[in-house]
Amino acid sequence: MESRIEYARIWAGTKHKGQYRKYTGEPYIEHPLIVSEMVREHGLSETAIVAAILHDTVEDTDASFEEVLEYFGAEVAEYVWYLTKPPEFVGTRSIRKEHDRWRLSAAPEEVKIVKFYDVMHNAGSIKEHDPELWSSWRHEMQLLFLAMDIHSIIPIMEKHKEFVDSL
């Protein structure tokens, strides 16, 4: 199990090399690694942990779904597809967010949990560093959680009540 996770860490680290988080300036790879650790602590499958590590590679690097499929298998590629934002040519931000909601509403439960932890980790830096974006982003995440039928992951919500209440 550990070898596929380690390979995902190395591959994603290489893909994200030279990228830094917008607000914090830390190496970008730290975000997916933190999300993957949250997913691991939650007790999700190896597939979910690997998908958490890779969740931003296709949208933020030159990685492709075909590479994810080839190197990590169909289930990981499917999870990453659910977690990847639509490209800008799809339309305005509101249209892209609508696509996100539709796609994640049909996602497997583990993907929804990965997305929850992704949102949770992103929320802190957005709230602290970009109060103007925070207001609209917060509303988008509320709509996303409703679309994902967030009630299906109530134990997470209860465990992270302070975060959920902040939305």
Mean pLDDT for each 10-residue chunk of the chain (167 residues)? 89 97 93 97 96 96 97 98 87 91 94 95 91 92 88 68 72
Alpha-carbon distance values, 138 to 1, 59, 79, 134, 157 (Å): 36, 21, 24, 6, 16
Predicted local confidence at residue 153, as pLDDT: 65
Active-site residue identified among 30, 37, 46, 60: 60
Predicted local confidence at residue 160, as pLDDT: 73
Segment (H or E) for 142: helix 131-147
**Residue span of the structural domain in which 134 resides:** 2-166
What CATH number did the domain enclosing 123 receive?
Answer: 1.10.3210.10
Query: Is the pTM here over 0.85, yes or no?
Result: yes
Predicted local confidence at residue 87, as pLDDT: 79
Active-site residue identified among 6, 59, 70, 149: 59
118 a catalytic residue: no
Rounded to whole angstroms, the Cα distance separating 31 from 103 reads: 22
Predicted local confidence at residue 158, as pLDDT: 72
When divided into structural domains, the chain yields a total of 1
How many of the other CB atoms lie within 10 Å of CB of 104?
18
60 a catalytic residue: yes
**Token digits of residue 165:** 């209440």
